[in-house]
Structure 1
């Protein structure tokens, strides 16, 4: 039998969820479902599908440039497809992305917003010490009222960040990887993290000057 406190907590979550879904415009999934309990890690029968996705991502990484080492592309693809499923289990991600965001914001989960996925992906890829692939960070919605979205982008060594491949395990939900070339993403307009940080510094400097 649920206590009044338990019912209050459920009501609080429902209210927070409704408010957040109404306000959050960035860091948003293509569609939002409030259903819970989906698998955070693919069952055994889906291993073939995962291997097929790894092969697709490997090919997409190799297509970034003739100098990309095939072994490095394969290693990066395997990390990008499989590691987020481990993080989803570790972070107890069983909901649609926005629903899980609400849980994090309200203290019911520790991690799982887009920034967490991007940080973990960046760390995992950098740990491989790739020589023919560069790891970049990008941000969307930094200059408008929508919430920011963060991702990792991989390019061939020495190539500009906006020529790269987006590796976004947040967008679809539960650690399932979304990939696209930067110029082919029809949902987000990306900026390099460096450009966003420079803009933020300038904005703060102007604000301080106006106060003075």
Structure 2
């Protein structure tokens, strides 16, 4: 009985001490991402790039609350897999961002679900990649709110040293079918 009480106490501590509050959006980070987005193609104006950047940061904050995020990511995944949280796995983040950005219908941008280590249970990771419309996938920018527990990570696809990304066209089709239902 004491052992069960101790486990419950430890679990309660982990759940309350590791809760993540949405990170306040810093203008400098919004600007930094906007500059990267603008640099995807000469036809993209800075104002549109800033709007896309701001939308990504706001969606990340919204999802942090919605998913009742705890840190680090592996702990949150454990809670989801144990049924103690409904969502918050990396593909939940990438799907939600993909659908939100597709809904905004930005004419200059294309949004691509992407993954690394596909099919490897402990290593698979999913993100959203943004390209200029009509440009190749590997010219894009990775946006990943899962990796740093609700803090939006972004980098050029080719500069992400942790992962080698591939486009997940299968996820686009699946997500668009879900969206229509």
Q: Give yes or no for TM over 0.5.
A: yes
Displacement of 1:75 after TM fit? Answer: 1.4
Structure 2 residue runs without a partner (length 5+): 173-181
Equivalent in the alignment of 1:189: 164
1:1-212 matched pairs, under 5 angstroms: 7=5, 10=8, 36-42=17-23, 46-47=24-25, 50-142=26-118, 144=120, 146-173=122-149, 175-194=150-169
More strand by share: 2
Displacement of 1:35 after TM fit? Answer: 8.8
Q: Give 1 or 2 for the bigger CA radius of gyration.
A: 1
CA contact (8 A) 2:77 2:88 kept: yes
CA distance 1:6–1:92, shift in 2 (3 Å): farther
Q: Secondary structure at the match of 2:158?
A: helix
Q: Secondary structure at the match of 1:170?
A: strand
How many residue pairs were aligned?
A: 171
RMSD after superposition: 2.9
TM-score, normalising length: structure 1:
0.71
Displacement of 1:195 after TM fit? Answer: 7.6
CA distance 1:64–1:169, shift in 2 (3 Å): same
Distance in 1 between the 2:109 and 2:48 partners?
Answer: 8
CA distance 1:51–1:38, shift in 2 (3 Å): farther
CA distance 1:143–1:116, shift in 2 (3 Å): closer
Stretch of structure 1 that moved more, 88-97 or 180-189: 88-97
Displacement of 1:93 after TM fit? Answer: 0.6
CA distance 1:183–1:170, shift in 2 (3 Å): same
Structure 1 residue runs without a partner (length 5+): 15-32, 198-212
Higher relative contact order (CA 8 A, sep 6+): 1
